[in-house]
Structure 1
């Protein structure tokens, strides 16, 4: 920059008093000259208007703010120049309610020219940019943190904790009512989050009842903090509440709740931009809470449906031991195409019906058909004594349905009599049951039949077998014998290996037999893909048990 003077042209390294009527007097940028003793030498018109007390020979400390006077004193007492030039960084301060940069230029005789540059708009823009950057980073953090959990309670806690840490002194998250009680999460200044269920009227908090219905929030200036009920204020606030924001948490179709932001009365009130930003945060929190609630509802529905699809736990019935085991084809699946059920007889000496089957296919589609088959068999229990009749009726139900899948099944009617267990076994397209005798011998039941759900009629053959004490009949699906694995990874587990494993289980309880077979099959396949696996063991108990006439008289030991 060049300023013409009466002596020479200023080139940024030295200067002297400008001639009257030159750029110095008319420069829009305020400028003043001060000597080394700290007195004002001259000011231009802009500086005169900005600093009315800055007159020639006036003490600089009386004419300018302290920050500028201090900067001048430090500048003139700095290093002594050898080449007529001093270099000094600019300083910044406020003047007349605005922000200025004061930039020094050394002049003759130790004087300094201070150019005052108004950077208020720049500072405001920088502050706004920093605020937006911080808010953007916070929203990114909030989205990431909120989406790490699909647990509703955890989402509420995270929402309250983030809001209290970044937006207010304390926060309260209120979920929709459950049986007239509102789940609430509190976060105070210390960062401690706690939850409880409150029986309260949301209308007691101005704007909360509307927010819970999804209506837009009311401005915080309309809310009187003194009207807040005790339950709406977290513990730990050292000062009374001075400012309140109530914002809805929008969800997927229905509101996910509301968040109440609180500031102490010794802090500034919420401004409009903060209320808008609170709504942006609430939108993300509401989406996360809505997703968590939807997941919880779907998980509850799934658990209810799975309760009827999953195989039951088995135990001893009418003096006969039953045990079952099931492993779905996928690690993330709970139900599939294999199934089993035990339908106990009405009393001692009555036959219990065991059903084990395998539906074509895997996953949920196959599980849906297994559910249909199991319900149909349940309805056909009055005819359980006639296996062929049960299979015919079940086959008719499947052939006439919209399903294109078929199933294989084995039925076993079981009754304990005279210390032995009598079996009637019928296979319909299913692997024949295996019987392990007390001496370790393994026999294959001679029963065969056609698939269920393919042809208009099912053909089958029913055979009988007796189990002595300690002997077991094993029903299994082809997921066991056709499991591929072993050292090379592609060898079938096979019938021979299953029979050898079963021979080692002679004399074991039913539960131990199932665990042994499942363990060997699982070790064989490792982490490779496999079909559903199901096994049921029917065992004649080796041990005696105590029976009693009623719950009080002495019983007797029976085999």
Structure 2
């Protein structure tokens, strides 16, 4: 059976991975026996495993033949599921990198209600319609394709190699040397081209011995005239270019493009003093004419290879910008490099005192990953260089470690500094087997990737530091523990909005009041739940002021209304830094026989507390009063509540009542009252958990406001 397109659905999300893999093999075999290769089965099985393990939904396998390629896609019903990247020491979760190695191309398709991961393989025995090595494969509509890069030998950023591959450039070079030789009646002429590392290579010659070695001739060894872009002549062999060409005299002119030295046009003679300054000037005019033609040829050669280069960089940037997790960012960097640019990749991060820490290792052959990690951990320190260059640190590892690593110990490595915002934050090391040279394309792409990776890692590091600081500040604004109050069950819930990178404005507190034990044997406690307008440091300042002021003023045995009057004045005194504050504050008085508690409370602009009776009736327990931080001279009063045994009082912030689902709020139509009524007979902790779950399940999107609640139940 050979069909262009076929699909099959695996319905049970709770089935085992083994069952999913058997299903995959059956679909592929029924579809096209020829296309059911080991690579196709293995890659599809890995994607099916990911769907069962991480998505937890049914999945569909879609197989398609097009342009001589087999395209297979595994689609699950969890569109928001992130594609997991393995951690540094992960023993699983490496399916996608395996697919990347097996497939000619792969990518991710996002649609409403579904997510698909697809890959393409060449169909056995079919070479028609194949994508050229230098061209990225086309992805399905709506897909995010894996980065495509040009072939290793198709994009060499060195001026010399690139120009020598262009027929037009080779013709221009040969015409130039012939013209130069004839123009100056020289013994020989040559064009020397600048490599990326500054070395000069022979691009074309006329009259020179074939295969003449230039030794260590480089831009650095040239005189000031060459570096300044000025023609010059030399009357003896003391000139480094004349010495490299075994000449006794020389006339030379620099080739320049956009202000950089791309090479030299030289004419040489076997006798000293052969050339004059006028010869250098004539050669300079020839070099000016030639430079434009060579630059045009170089740009034309670049255009083809840059198509894949730009695709790779753009996709890498998109992926790196998609996460603020530091380890995931480093994992992405390594897996973008391997196997496209190198056989293995290691990411180091700098600590205090310029000490480098091995943070992530990835090898194309997973069987060698552990040995490579050991080798790198025992190898020499990564040099704190500010520019890319070869790295020989593997040779510094102990002999037994090198023996255990096998051939990997002889790999050649290249180091790239990770520099972000003018500061070195680590290094990127890439490696290839001995004898497998790094193409210039790989070095240039890795250098570009290292610049983008450094910024992404630094952003993730800054985000992590900000999150840690915000979490610490948020914890400092909440009580360390909830005290035990005789005859009263107390439960609290606090959930800050967002991802923890910003301090919320909600707070709560429960603490003993001054003179907690009265002469009659009763005890007094204070509780508070509030919401400062806004988030961030300004809101945190008012939150801290309010929480500590409540405790300090309560310690002076001030009544609840007096505490709110004083706090109102304190907030107004903050001036422009002031924030509006809603606050529910009360004092709890317990009774010796534990037949309930008395609560004196004031609701200053806060959602009113609700009381649940044992028979399921729900009613409000206070009257509304002005919020804090608006008017001076406000006089507050208390409402008295006798909370009898079995009754529950629920206090919430507006993050509960204003939880949104489309145009509807949770508090609309007595929604919170209905939720509380269903909590009849539950403990304080169970009531808090049920309300918390109801808030989470009310809308499909995460809450954009903090959620805080206090539950008091008389026992």
Given the alignment of the two structures, is residue 454 of structure 1 paired with residue 641 of structure 2, yes or no?
A: no
Tell me the residue number matched to 1:295.
463
Q: In the alignment, which of 409, 413, 435 is matched to residue 244 of structure 1?
A: 413
**Is residue 2:564 matched to residue 1:387?**
no
Tell me: CA distance 1:445–1:158, structure 2 relative to 1, closer, same or farther (3 Å): closer
8 Å contact 1:170–1:234 — kept in the other structure? no
Alpha-carbon distance between aligned partners in 1 of 2:671 and 2:373, rounded to the nearest angstrom:
58
User: What is the match of residue 333 of structure 2?
Assistant: 159
TM-score by length of 2: 0.47
Structure 2: how far apart are the matches of 1:376 and 1:384? 13
Change (3 A) 1:471 1:223: closer
Match of 1:216 in 2: 387
State the match for 1:260 in structure 2: 429
Q: Distance between the aligned counterparts of 2:361 and 2:400, measured in 1?
A: 10
Task: Look up the SS of the partner of 1:461 in the other structure.
Answer: coil
Whole-Å separation in 2 of the counterparts to 1:154 and 1:358: 35
Residue 257 of structure 1 and its aligned partner are, at CA, apart by: 0.8
Measured after TM superposition, the shift of residue 411 of structure 1 is 1.8
Q: How many pairs are equivalent? A: 411
Correspondence for 1:397: 570
1:416 aligns with 2:584: no
Q: Secondary structure at the match of 1:305?
A: helix
- The one-character-per-residue Cα deviations of 1:236-256 (angstroms, maximum 9, x if unpaired) are 552652533222112233223
RMSD, matched Cα: 4.8
Q: Give, in angstroms, the shift of residue 304 of structure 1.
A: 1.9
Change (3 A) 1:455 1:263: closer
Maintained 8 Å contact 2:482/2:511: no
Which position in structure 1 is the counterpart of 2:511? 343
| Residues 481-525 of structure 1: per-residue CA shift (max 9 Å, x gap) | 677889x9489636x665566555454322333455566677778
What's the counterpart of residue 687 of structure 2? 513
Matches within 5 A, 1:66-145: 131-145=305-319
CA separation of 1:199 and 1:460: change in aligned 2, threshold 3 A: farther
- Pairwise mapping of residues 348-367 of structure 1 onto structure 2 (< 5 A)? 350-359=523-532, 361-364=533-536, 366=539
The within-5 A match list for 1:309-324 is 309=477, 316-324=484-492
- Rg larger for: 1
Shift of 1:528: 11
Counterparts in 2 of 1:171 and 1:510: CA distance versus 1, 3 Å? closer
For residues 109-132 of structure 1, what are the alpha-carbon distances to aligned partners after superposition, in whole Å with 9 as ceiling and x for unaligned?
A: xxxxxxxxxxxx999999766554
Deviation at residue 296 of structure 1 after TM alignment:
1.8
Moved more, 234-243 or 348-357: 234-243
In the alignment, the residues of structure 2 paired with residue 485 and residue 142 of structure 1 have an alpha-carbon distance, to the nearest angstrom, of: 36
Change (3 A) 1:503 1:279: closer
1:372 to 545, 551, 569: 545
Distance 1:232 1:425 in 2: 73
Q: Name stretches of at least 5 consecutive residues in structure 2 with no aligned partner.
A: 1-174, 176-294
The reply on whether 1:474 has 2:650 as its aligned counterpart is yes
Q: Residues 367, 436 of structure 1: CA spacing in aligned structure 2 closer, same or farther, 3 A cutoff?
A: same
Alpha-carbon distance in structure 2 between the residues aligned to 1:280 and 1:191 = 26
- Residues 433/506 of structure 1: CA separation in 2 closer, same or farther (3 Å cut): same
**Cα 1:447/1:272, change in 2 over 3 Å:** closer
Task: Quote the Cα distance in structure 1 between the aligned partners of 2:668 and 2:342.
Answer: 64
Cα distance, 1:264–1:429 mapped onto 2, change above 3 Å: closer
* Secondary structure, aligned partner of 1:175: strand
For residues 597 and 339 of structure 2, the distance between their equivalents in structure 1, rounded to whole angstroms, comes to: 71
CA offsets per residue over residues 155-213 of structure 1, 9 Å max, x none?
A: 223333333423333332211136957133223341575697999798x35xx3323xx
Matched, 1:183 2:371: no
The alignment status of 1:427 with 2:602, answered yes or no, reads: yes
Aligned equivalents of 1:243 and 1:362: distance in 2? 55
2:659–2:698 CA contact under 8 A, matched in 1: yes
Which secondary structure does the structure 2 equivalent of 1:419 belong to?
A: coil
Cα shift at 1:349? 5.5
Q: 1:267 offset after TM fit, Å?
A: 2.8
- Shift of residue 425 of structure 1? 1.6
Q: Is the 8 A contact 2:523 2:589 kept in 1?
A: yes
Q: Deviations over 1:273-310 (max 9, x none)?
A: 75444422321222222222222222222222232456
Give me the whole-angstrom Cα distance separating, in 2, the residues matched to 1:528 and 1:242: 49
**Residue number in structure 2 paired with 1:537:** 711
**TM-score, normalising length: structure 1:** 0.59
The answer to which of 175-184 and 382-391 deviates more is 175-184
- Mapped to 1, the partners of 2:337 and 2:570 lie a distance apart of 58
> Cα distance, 1:134 vs. partner?
4.2
Which segments of 5 or more consecutive residues in structure 1 lack a partner in the other structure?
A: 1-27, 29-120, 542-559
The CA distance in 1 between the partners of 2:433 and 2:302, in whole Å, is 24
Q: Is the 8 A contact 2:597 2:714 kept in 1?
A: no
Distance 2:581 2:483 in 1: 26
- Describe the shift of the 1:442–1:230 C-alpha distance in structure 2 as closer, same or farther (beyond 3 A): same
In 1, Cα distance between the equivalents of 2:601 and 2:326?
50
For 1:23, the equivalent position in structure 2 comes to: none
Residue 415 of structure 1 deviates from its aligned partner by 3.8
CA 1:503–1:137: 2 relative to 1, 3 Å: closer
Shift of 1:354: 0.7
Structure 1 segment 260-279 matched on structure 2, within 5 A: 260-268=429-437, 270=438, 275-279=443-447
- 8 Å CA contact 1:329–1:531 kept in 2: the answer is yes
Cα distance in 2 between the residues matched to 1:245 and 1:232? 20
Say yes or no: does 1:286 pair with 2:457: no
CA distance in 2, matches of 1:482, 1:188: 50
Within 5 Å, give how 1:428-443 maps onto structure 2: 428-430=603-605, 432-440=608-616
CA distance in 2, matches of 1:242, 1:260: 12
2-structure distance, mates of 1:254, 1:326: 39
CA distance in 1, matches of 2:635, 2:403: 73
- Alignment equivalent of 1:150, drawn from 324, 327, 341: 324
Q: 1:389 to 1:490 in 2, by over 3 A?
A: closer
Q: Contact conserved, 1:327 with 1:532, CA < 8 A, in 2?
A: yes
Q: The residue matched to 2:384 in structure 1 has which SS? A: helix
